[in-house]
Amino acid sequence: MQVIQLSLVGLALGLALPAFASQRIAVQIKGYDDGVKSTAGQDYKEAVLFAKREAIERAGVSVKSLTTMEDYLVKSDYIESQAEAVLEPGYDVLDIGYQPDGSYLVVLTGKVSLMTEANTAKEQLPASESMLFSALSRLSASPQEFELSLGDIGNYPIEKAYFANDEQFVIHYDFRNGVMTLNNINKGIMRLAGTYRTDTDSGSVELDFNPDGSAEGRWTFFLASGAMTIRQK
């Protein structure tokens, strides 16, 4: 995937708007890819993602430029979660399609809620030089290459993994709709603690991560506990 360009068209309300959380602005955002075709479905998704990125930045949430496939994979879930938080329900994405120059065009129209100075998000990912960030980025970029082993219980594919915010990393795995949330990732410590929940139970987890994205640790449910491993297939 190459660099996708965006331009904001439409409303550009005053530069001195007071920062109230309830304040909204209308946006109309064009999202383009650069004309390097993959499939129509994929090009559409990329254009929509980058339009949402522009929308959340207009709301006051800073996101670094996405210029590589690695950037796209690592940050896509984060952008989706932030867009859900700031885009007002009822926004519309008009699928224009391929343009004469080969680029793919969508137009996102709606309203975004401006963030207050107190809760304006800065860059939400851990420091790029962090070894933990590199490990989690590997897992986030290629979750299908990993599986969660619960010892005698079984081995289960990891469905998706993403940075939820600057402090939490979330892993979805294919065992009773399992979801694991790891906390304090911003500290850069390779040992992470958090929680898990499935359709039938919930408890705590502790994992020691390796630079390649794998990890070893344990899950705990009341008095029961067991081994838990994230490993490459």
Residue 225 and residue 208: Cα distance in Å, rounded? 16
Q: pTM for the complete prediction?
A: 0.49
DSSP code, position 144: G
Same fold, 6-113 and 131-232: no
- Residue 44's SS3 state is helix
Q: Give the tens place of pLDDT for each residue, 57-106.
A: 777 766 554 444 445 555 666 677 777 777 888 899 999 999 888 889 99
Q: Positive or negative, the Cα torsion across 75, 80, 83, 84?
A: negative
pLDDT at 93: 93
Residue 125, pLDDT > 70, answer no
d(CA 116, CA 100): 41
Domain boundaries, the chain: 6-113, 131-232
Query: What is residue 8's predicted lDDT score, i.e. its pLDDT?
Result: 34
DSSP state, 87?
A: B
- Domain at 131-232: CATH code: 2.40.128
Architecture of domain 6-113: 2-Layer Sandwich (3.30)
| Exposure letters 18-52 (e unless 16+ CB within 10 A, then b) | eeeeeebbebebbbbbeeeeeeeeebbbbbbbbbb
Q: What per-residue confidence (pLDDT) applies to 72?
A: 55
Query: What is the token pair recorded at 164?
Result: 């939820």
